[in-house]
Amino acid sequence: MKRFFFLAVFLQQANAQTPQILLGPDEIAENQPWTITITVQNDRLKSYDNFPDIEGFRKGGQSASSQTSIINGQSNTSYSLITTYIPQRQGIITVQPFTMKINGQLVSSPGKKVRVGPPVHAPAPDPFRSFFDDFTDPFSGRRTPTEFIDIKEDAFLALTTDKNEVYTGEGFNTVLAFYVAESNRAAMDWYDINRQFTEIVQKLKPKNCWEENFNIESIEGRSVTINNKPYTQYKIYQAMYYPLVAGQVDFPSVGLEMIKYKVAKNPSFFSPNRQRDFKTFYSKPKTVRVKELPPHPLRNVAAVGNYRLAENLNPKEARTGQSVKYEFTIYGEGNIGAITRPVTKPTRTFDVFDPNVRQNIRRENNRITGSATFSYYLIPKEPGTYNLGDLLEWYFFNPKTGRYDTLKATASLHITGESLANESIDSGGESAFYNLADAADSTLHGRPWYEQYSIILNLMAVMLLIISVYAAFIRK
C-alpha cells in the first residue's frame, strides 16, 4: 500500500460527497493561530461563502490543500480550504454557530468556545522528532536521509489597471493580486502578509493622485479566467486613483514573499513529506498615461465623471419671506469626495444661504459611485414663478463622451405675497425698522442742556489739574 500526500492551492473534479466544516482546537496560545477548514471529498471546491467574522479573532491568510490516497487501486481525494484566525486577546473566545454554502450545499457548524492562553515562547519537545528528520531503518541500523524536490509553481503576482489612459481627474481601478492556476500542484502559503502589505502599499501609492481605498480586510479567493485558463485570484490591494495633474502615473515592480514547500521524493510515514522554503514573486511595472482635459472656459472648475441630477423642493409654493428647502443632489460615478458645491448666480429675488453638504460614497464591483447632496435654504422676496435653473448650476466633464456638461436645477417655485425687495432687516411681514424710520422727526436740533453741562465740567477739571501742577512746581 502506498500513500501520496499533496498540498495544493487548486483542485480537480471527481465524484462529489457532502462537504464538512472543521473547527480548530479548543485551546491555543495567544501567539498561535486557530483555523476553520472546509473540506469536500472527491469533488473540486467550486464555490463557498465568506468565512465568518469572530469577535476576539482577526482573519489571517488562507491556504488550500488536497490529500490523495490510493489503496488497492482505489483513489480517494479530499480538498480543503483553511482560513487562519489570529487571537487578539487571552481568555475565552466564543465561536457562534454559523452556516456556509459550500458547492451549493448548506453546511452548519455548532461553534465552540476556544480558550486562549499566554504566549508560548518555545515549542514543546516532540517525542517523534527523530521521525521528522532522518528515518532510521530498524533492520539495517542506517539513517536514510529524506530527499526533497522542488515542484514548479503555476502562479504569479500582477498589478493591473482597468484603463491604460485617462483624463486628469478621471478614475482608474488598480488591483494587486496573487493568481494561482487550478493546475498548480506546488504547495504554498502566505508569509508575514501584514508586514509585507504595509511595505508594498508604501511603494505603490503614486503621488499627485486622489486615492479611494477599497480597504481589503481579508484575502479570499475568487475564480477568474485568464487566456481561457482557470485561476483563483487573491486580491491583496485595491484602490481607485484620480490623477490631479497631466503626465503619467508609474507603478514600480513590487515583490511578495511566499512560503513554498518542497516535497519528499519518496514519501514515508516515518519521515517528513515536505520541507519549508521561500520564493518571492514580482509584479511587472505599470504606467498609466494622463491626458489634459480638452480646452474649455470651464476646464479649471469642472469635475470629472459621469453624473446626473436629482432634486427635492419643499414646499413648491410659498409666500414671500417664507423659508424654502431645496436639495441639489449630484450622483453617479467619479471622485465623489472631491465634488464642490454648485455655482450660485447673483440674485435679488432670493436670499440664499450656504448649503449643508452630505456625501455618500460606495466602493463595490470595482467602481466608486455615490452622491453629494447640497441642501439650500431660500427666502423669496418677490412674488412670481421662478425656475431655479436660473439660480444654481454645476459643471463637469464626462470622460465617456469626451464633452463638458452642466447640471442645472429644473424645479420651479411659485411665490405669492407682497414684495420684500426693499427690506433687508425683517424677512417676513412689514419692516418695523423702516416704519420707525419713517415716523422719526427729521428736524435739526442743537445740543441738549445736559451735553453742554458735561463740556463745562470737563473744562473745569482740566484747569484744576493745571493749577495743581503749577503749585507743586513753585514749592520746589
143-166: b or e for each residue (b if 16 or more CB lie within 10 Å)? eeebeeeeeebbbbbbbebeeeeb
pLDDT tens-digit series, residues 56-106: 998 877 776 666 554 444 556 677 888 888 898 999 999 999 999 988 889
pLDDT, tens digit, for every residue of 143-193? 566 788 888 999 999 999 999 999 999 999 999 999 999 999 888 899 988
Give the chain's length: 476
- Torsion sign across C-alpha atoms 300, 305, 308, 311: negative
**What's the structural domain count of the chain?**
3
Residue 471 in domain: no
pLDDT at 319: 93
**174/262 same-domain check:** yes
Q: Which three cell numbers stand for residue 145?
A: 536521509
287 and 180, same domain (yes or no): yes
199 and 252, same domain (yes or no):
yes
Find out whether 37 and 80 touch, Cβ atoms under 8 Å: yes
Average of pLDDT values for 34-51?
85
What phi-psi label fits residue 71: left (phi over 0), alpha (psi between -120 and 50 degrees) or beta?
beta
Residue 428 pLDDT? 41
User: How far is Cα 85 from Cα 36, in angstroms, rounded to an integer?
Assistant: 8
Range of the domain at 65: 2-120
Confidence label for 286 from pLDDT (cuts 50, 70 and 90) = very high
Lowest mean pLDDT among 3-17, 393-407, 451-465: 3-17
Side chain identity at residue 253, one-letter code: S
Please say whether the dihedral angle defined by the alpha carbons of residues 217, 219, 221 and 227, taken in this order, is positive or negative: positive
In a domain, 359, yes or no: yes
Q: Is the pLDDT of residue 356 over 50?
A: yes
- Domain check: are 165 and 207 in the same one? yes
Report the C-alpha gap between 461 and 386 in whole angstroms: 66
- Asked if pLDDT for residue 396 goes beyond 90, the answer is yes
Q: Which amino acid is at 401?
A: T
Same domain, 248 and 185: yes
258 and 326 belong to one structural domain: no
Element (H, E) at 451: helix 449-475
Q: Is the pLDDT of residue 9 over 50?
A: no
Report pLDDT digits (tens) over 331-351.
Answer: 999 999 889 999 999 888 999
CATH of the domain at 40: 2.60.40
Residue 455 within any structural domain of the chain: no
Residues 257 and 334 grouped into a single domain: no
| φ, ψ (nearest 5 deg) of residue 130 | -60, -30
Least confident among 4-8, 80-84, 428-432: 4-8
Q: Which residue has the higher pLDDT, 457 or 37?
A: 37
With cut-offs at 50, 70 and 90, classify the pLDDT of residue 298.
Answer: confident
**Which grid coordinates are listed for 10?**
487548486
C-alpha cell at 165: 489612459
* 10 shares a domain with 109: yes
One domain for residues 92 and 197: no
Band (50; pLDDT cuts 50, 70, 90): confident
| Distance from C-alpha of 260 to C-alpha of 185, rounded to nearest angstrom | 11
Same domain, 164 and 280: yes
Query: Does 263 score more than 60 pLDDT?
Result: yes
In this prediction, residue 454 has a pLDDT band, given cuts at 50, 70 and 90, of: low
**Distance between CA atoms of residues 328 and 355, nearest Å:** 10
Residues 283 and 308 in one domain: no
pLDDT score for 79? 77
Give me the chain's average pLDDT, please.
Answer: 82
Determine how β-strand 165-167 pairs with β-strand 286-291: parallel
Residues 374 and 425 reside in one and the same domain? yes
Residue 456 lies in a domain: no
**Contact in structure between 222 and 248 (CB atoms under 8 Å):** no
Question: Shortest CA distance to 317 belongs to which of 271, 384, 266, 369?
Answer: 384
pLDDT over 50 at 12, yes or no: no
Q: Give dist(CA 61, CA 402) in Å, integer.
A: 43
* Residue 148 falls inside a structural domain: no
Task: Quick: pLDDT tens for 205-237.
Answer: 998 999 999 988 788 888 999 999 999 999 999
* pLDDT (0 to 100) of residue 139: 46
439: in domain: no
Let me know if residue 136 belongs to a domain: no
Q: What is the mean pLDDT of residues 281-296?
A: 96
pLDDT digits (tens, 9 = 90+) for 104-146: 889 999 999 999 999 876 444 443 343 334 444 444 445 566 7
Res 424: pLDDT:
52
| Coil, helix or strand at residue 358 | strand
Window from 159-168, 265-274, 294-303 with minimum mean pLDDT = 265-274
**% of the chain surpassing 90 pLDDT:** 53
CA 337 to chain centre: 12
Grid cell locating 310? 436629482
- Residue ending a domain, choose from 291, 315, 340: 291
Q: Identify the CA nearest to 320 among candidates 239, 418, 394.
A: 418
Tell me the pTM. 0.60
Asked whether residue 269 is assigned to any structural domain, the reply reads: yes
